[in-house]
Amino acid sequence: MVGWILKKILGSKNQRELKRLMPIAHRINEFDEQFKSLSDEALRAKTAAWKEELAKILEPQDQWNRLDEILPEAFAVVKNAARRLKERQHTFTVCDQPMTWDMVHFDVQLLGGVVLHRGRIAEMATGEGKTLVATLPLYLNALTGRGAHLVTVNDYLARRDAEWMGQLYDFLGLTVGCIQHDQEPDIRREQYAMDITYGTNSEFGFDYLRDNGMATTREQQVQRGYHYAIVDEVDSILIDEARTPLIISGPATISTHQYDKWKPLIEQLVRKQTMLCNRIASEAVELFDRLDPGKIPTFTPNEPIGVTVSPEVRKLAAELRVHLTEVAGTGKDGKITESDVRYAASKFNPGILMFKVKLGQPRNKQLLRMMEDPDKRRAIDKAELSFYQDTRKEELFALKEELFFTIDEKSNEADLSEQGRMFLNPDDPNAFVLPDLINEFTEIDLDPELSQEEKDKRKAERQQLCDTQAERIHNISQLLKAYCLFEKDVQYVIEENKVVIVDEFTGRKMPGRRWSDGLHQAVEAKEGVQIDRETQTLATITIQNYFRLYQKLAGMTGTAETEAAEFHDIYKLDVNMIPTNRPIARTDYNDRIYKTRREKYSSVINEIRECHNKQQPVLVGTVSVEASELLSRMLKREKIPHNVLNAKFHMQEAEIVQRAGQPGTVTISTNMAGRGTDIKLGAGVPERGGLMVIGTERHEARRIDRQLRGRCARQGDPGSSRFYVSFEDDLMRNFGAADRMTRIMERFGLEEGQELEHRWLNKSVETAQKRVEQRNYLVRKRTLDFDDVMNMQREVVYTYRNETIDSEEPRRLIYEVIDEAVPAKVKEYLDVDEPNYTGLIHWVNTTFPLGLTKEKAQFETRTVEENAQFLIEKIKNAYERKSSHEERPRSKVSNVTSS
């Protein structure tokens, strides 16, 4: 076997790196050979001996070095233990299912283990046994006694892998724990105290936030440091999930939203916009007819009499197909200018009209239909492109002003136009304009007529007004988004009268999570369900920054290569591709491309039927829950039995996925559903070509497509995959190399119901995907850039907080702060030409509960230093009173609980 691996790993950088690891694999196997003669006890004794030795090494770096030295022997111990379990046909239960141990680490798995130990990403295809690979570095790194974590994508997999691999750890004398969503803190603490702990990224992350942001004593904290972690399905966790930070929130103290109030008006506004867009689209249809080259062979600009037109202008008019008689401004100074022509062109150019529709209603039905026609599509794309030149910014603005509002599908933004603002508030067109606070404040400050108190009062009023305006603008913009960009059963579902977010990427429902910034309330208002209280963030961290806490981080997945740059830049993780244990025998067919979704789906159904008829199992991947359900309805009509997975019920889904390789089975699944569960082929299936994987849409990221393809042909099994694409797919509409696609369509003359299939087309689709990947990377990077600032703050605050929690005498720390902060503030207010006594009193009263008044303070009677001393004493006194007050009841409570 080593022979074939060697053949595969010559040449590229990755291959050279792996080649260097080969001698280690040999060493491991030599030790394994030696250990065969040992008794169980002797093998197990090695664990205890190493643990004892490593515990004595205090410097982390020295500990890491020692681990590197013992790696071959330690990996061999694990492999040898696996062999013993297999020889004895060791039986056990995992998630209530009986199992027999049947695995001994393959050589490629040893390589993967070394890569993981070195803090890198091991790319190993689905079915290569990554669960078993992780046992090697987890065992080794857990020997330090500092804890080793394995991070999974869901609770079910955490439990499955902990129970399954636990057999091996148990045999070797290491303890293993597993974090589950519903565990109480005491149980969690026990799990973290184990040598090895399995759990999901969100449980680990939330425990971190609770430990550092909520716990008020050391005893309440559950984690014990961040030493070594392996992230399974690392792309899913560090890239896909990384888009939303982990947030612990509580209800906000006050809520001032106006969603209910604005809903009826916004509904009307959206309806008006729809009517407007439909009307523009119908005009465009007529104009397209007029431009039909079959009807007007050449275009003459049709010059009016008595007006001078320069040759440039005439040329432009011919180019833009504008009749000069239709040009606005005709007769003004007897001249027609270029901008007159451009303006007319925007009125009479159907491409521009449809671009306007796109701005106002990106999912307009007529627009979508026109995009299927190569000529019209090109005209619309051309219009759009031309407007994004810098010189045409004003024209673009003017175009937008002809609508009530604009919606940007790509950046998820909504913007009211003047018309829209007038409709919503005809009496006060300024209702949606924020006042210029800075200037107003300066004016108030400079007004000699006003006393200080009056100035403060005026400023407060302006501030209040500004806040109300801002809230209103914000609410309206969120409502517009809720109506125009968020579709029920796509981005969210309604369950028990609640809006539940569906992760578009994975199709998973995310109960309990809420869109931030009032968007969730806006959608609740739209759906007419109870509008929940706005929440405020109590503690938050991005997944990225959580995992950066670990001294050493490693990851494994079937698909990391396309995102190697991001892993490197953000996590300092390098990717090593590990060859498969057996050669891959999968056929990847070219994509099939259709004009419309409808045609695409009917071809998908045909292919499913063919497979089903010859009893070949099919796994159909979809990009959304909606698409899964649509396909399911179509299959029902065809009377083809099938299962649908939406990543909602991990455990049941794992059972269904396990059976997806049985003869004649049809399984429809969103891309996350059943990830991590292995599909074994049933009897007679390899002869029928193995599992067929059908992708019903190219995903935004190439990686997810590879992941889907990888579902078949594991461990050298036969299998095949094919993707179906239509021009109506979101990817193609928004990011398709539109122009090139259109050309290709023209070239091949794509008719209704026809399909295209060519290597080039795969490339075009990939280009679009790369573009989206790039954009999503930037979005994640931006989230992270923001969080980096907070992260510094978090580090300082959490460190200080933990010091306080740990200290026997928090009073001392608090006094330190007071002694430092108070004199500085006093100086700031008083050690100036005109001492600001009111300001200082205000600061004291908003920082400490002293209720200080001018009369009580008597600041004028003391020097600056004396005033500082005076305040420090008052504050400390108040603290003493408060703490003696608090300490008493607390001891009472603990008496009650202990008796």
Instruction: Point out which residues bind ligand ADP (CB under 6 A).
Output: 102-106, 109, 124, 126-132, 678
* Nearest one of 615, 623, 856, 838 to 725, comparing CA atoms: 623
Nearer to ligand ADP, 708 or 738 (CB): 708
Q: Least distance (Å) from ligand ADP to the CB of residue 718?
A: 17
The interaxial angle of helices 374-387 and 393-401, nearest 10 deg, is 110
Element holding 612 (H helix, E strand):
helix 597-613
Q: Which does 769 bind (CB under 5 to 8 A by kind): Mg ion, ligand ADP, none?
A: none
Nearer to ligand ADP, 35 or 859 (CB): 35
Is residue 682 within 8 A of residue 663, CB to CB? The reply is: yes
Q: Which does 127 bind (CB under 5 to 8 A by kind): ligand ADP, Mg ion, none?
A: ligand ADP
One-letter identity of residue 2? V
> Which residue's entry shows tokens 């519903």?
182
One-letter identity of residue 483? Y
Provide the token pair at 317.
């008019």
Rounded CA-CA distance 788/615 in Å is: 54
One-letter identity of residue 391? T
Residues in binding contact with Mg ion, number by CB under 5 A = 2
Rounded CA-CA distance 393/390 in Å is: 6
Rounded CA-CA distance 279/274 in Å is: 9
Nearer to ligand ADP, 109 or 478 (CB): 109
Q: List alpha helices for 145-233, DSSP H.
A: 155-172, 185-193, 201-209
Q: Least distance (Å) from ligand ADP to the CB of residue 111?
A: 13
Rounded CA-CA distance 852/720 in Å is: 79
Q: Least distance (Å) from Mg ion to the CB of residue 232?
A: 6
Q: Least distance (Å) from Mg ion to the CB of residue 682?
A: 21
Q: Least distance (Å) from Mg ion to the CB of residue 278?
A: 50
656 has which bridge partners? none
Question: Parallel, antiparallel, or unpaired: how do β-strands 552-557 and 228-232 relate?
Answer: parallel
- 10 Å CB burial of residue 244 (0-12, 13-18, 19+) is middle
- 10 Å CB burial of residue 880 (0-12, 13-18, 19+) is exposed
Q: Which does 119 bind (CB under 5 to 8 A by kind): Mg ion, ligand ADP, none?
A: none
Q: Least distance (Å) from ligand ADP to the CB of residue 126?
A: 4
Nearer to ligand ADP, 577 or 857 (CB): 577
* Nearest one of 442, 519, 411, 434 to 475, comparing CA atoms: 519
Which residue number places its CB atom closest to ligand ADP?
A: 129
Q: Least distance (Å) from ligand ADP to the CB of residue 102?
A: 6
Q: Least distance (Å) from Mg ion to the CB of residue 676?
A: 4
Phi, psi of 73 (to 5 degrees): -70, -40
Q: Which does 124 bind (CB under 5 to 8 A by kind): Mg ion, ligand ADP, none?
A: ligand ADP
Q: Which does 52 bind (CB under 5 to 8 A by kind): ligand ADP, Mg ion, none?
A: none
Nearer to Mg ion, 153 or 841 (CB): 153
Is residue 725 within 8 A of residue 698, CB to CB? The reply is: yes
Q: Which does 545 bind (CB under 5 to 8 A by kind): Mg ion, ligand ADP, none?
A: none
Nearer to ligand ADP, 120 or 597 (CB): 120
Q: Least distance (Å) from ligand ADP to the CB of residue 35?
A: 17
Nearer to ligand ADP, 132 or 479 (CB): 132
Which residue number places its CB atom closest to Mg ion?
A: 676
Among 119, 676, 682, 719, binds Mg ion (CB under 5 A): 676
Element holding 504 (H helix, E strand):
none
Q: Which does 105 bind (CB under 5 to 8 A by kind): ligand ADP, Mg ion, none?
A: ligand ADP
Q: Which does 113 bind (CB under 5 to 8 A by kind): Mg ion, ligand ADP, none?
A: none
Is residue 544 within 8 A of residue 784, CB to CB? The reply is: yes
Q: Which does 54 bind (CB under 5 to 8 A by kind): ligand ADP, Mg ion, none?
A: none
The interface region with Mg ion, picked from 32-40, 285-293, 404-412, 675-683 by CB under 5 A, is 675-683
Q: Least distance (Å) from Mg ion to the CB of residue 740?
A: 38
Nearer to Mg ion, 676 or 695 (CB): 676
Rounded CA-CA distance 286/289 in Å is: 5
Nearer to ligand ADP, 570 or 578 (CB): 578
Planar angle of CA 704, 710, 711, nearest 5 degrees? 100
Cα dihedral 772/608/488/504 (nearest 10) = -30
Q: Which does 128 bind (CB under 5 to 8 A by kind): Mg ion, ligand ADP, none?
A: ligand ADP
Question: Parallel, antiparallel, or unpaired: how do β-strands 552-557 and 121-123 relate?
Answer: parallel
Site track for Mg ion across 33-52, x = CB under 5 A:
--------------------
Nearer to ligand ADP, 104 or 485 (CB): 104
Q: Which does 104 bind (CB under 5 to 8 A by kind): ligand ADP, Mg ion, none?
A: ligand ADP
Nearer to ligand ADP, 129 or 360 (CB): 129
Q: Which does 46 bind (CB under 5 to 8 A by kind): Mg ion, ligand ADP, none?
A: none
The interface region with Mg ion, picked from 508-516, 670-678, 746-754, 804-812 by CB under 5 A, is 670-678
The interaxial angle of helices 338-348 and 350-360, nearest 10 deg, is 70
Rounded CA-CA distance 705/713 in Å is: 15
Rounded CA-CA distance 758/97 in Å is: 46
Q: Which of residues 124-143 bind Mg ion (CB under 5 A)?
A: 130
Contacts of 584 (CB under 8 A, 6+ apart): 125, 713, 716
Return the number of other C-beta atoms located less than 10 Å from residue 634's C-beta: 15
Q: Least distance (Å) from Mg ion to the CB of residue 135?
A: 13
Contacts of 238 (CB under 8 A, 6+ apart): 231, 543, 544, 547, 555, 567, 570, 571
Q: Least distance (Å) from ligand ADP to the CB of residue 719?
A: 14
Q: The dihedral of CA 641, 647, 649, 650: what is its sign? A: positive
Element holding 61 (H helix, E strand):
helix 60-87
Nearer to ligand ADP, 372 or 561 (CB): 561
Q: Least distance (Å) from ligand ADP to the CB of residue 106?
A: 5
Per this entry, what is the length of the chain? 899
Nearer to ligand ADP, 132 or 543 (CB): 132
Q: Which does 126 bind (CB under 5 to 8 A by kind): ligand ADP, Mg ion, none?
A: ligand ADP
Nearer to ligand ADP, 678 or 730 (CB): 678
Q: Least distance (Å) from ligand ADP to the CB of residue 769?
A: 23
Contacts with Mg ion by CB under 5 A lie at 130, 676
